[in-house]
């Protein structure tokens, strides 16, 4: 169930982004056509790259949540009685495969 929902959410987010990009391109070309063609293209690509970045960050976060669930990871501050001194802004996760993974806080 969880994996199929993740796949559905992942692919539907890219489909929605593609439809949004097509709509945005049409809107920008319609409103800024003619002599402002360069401005329209720059604006389109700036918004497109920002949206792609957002969708990719969202996808990466969902992938990590799925990994944590599948591998039964827990946040740890010490291992074997020894404190774990991680890098600033990172969290240590101990997983069922007996590895410690570091993840940046977002």
Work out the pLDDT band at 72, boundaries 50, 70, 90.
very high
Look up the pTM and report it.
0.56
Q: Are residues 19 and 38 in the same domain?
A: yes
Q: Are residues 11 and 41 in the same domain?
A: yes
pLDDT tens string 7-61:
777 778 778 878 888 887 787 777 766 667 777 778 778 888 888 888 888 888 8
Please provide the DSSP assignment of 40-104 as one string.
HHHHHHHHHHHHHHHHHHHHHHHHHHHHHHHTT-EE-SEETTEE--PPTTEEEEE-TTS-EEEEE
The C-alpha atoms of residue 74 and residue 77 are separated, in whole angstroms, by 10
Q: Are residues 32 and 79 in the same domain?
A: no
Q: pLDDT value at position 6?
A: 67
- Tally the domains of the chain: 2
């Amino acid at each position: 169930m969880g994996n199929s929902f993740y796949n559905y959410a992942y692919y539907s987010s890219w489909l929605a982004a593609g439809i949004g990009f097509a709509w945005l391109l049409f809107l920008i070309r319609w409103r800024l056509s003619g002599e402002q063609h360069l401005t329209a293209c720059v604006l389109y690509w700036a918004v497109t790259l920002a949206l792609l970045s957002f969708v990719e960050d969202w996808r990466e976060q969902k992938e990590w949540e799925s990994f944590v669930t599948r591998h039964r990871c827990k946040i740890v501050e010490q291992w074997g009685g020894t404190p774990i001194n991680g890098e600033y802004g990172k969290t240590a996760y101990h997983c069922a495969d007996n590895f410690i993974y570091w993840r940046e806080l977002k």
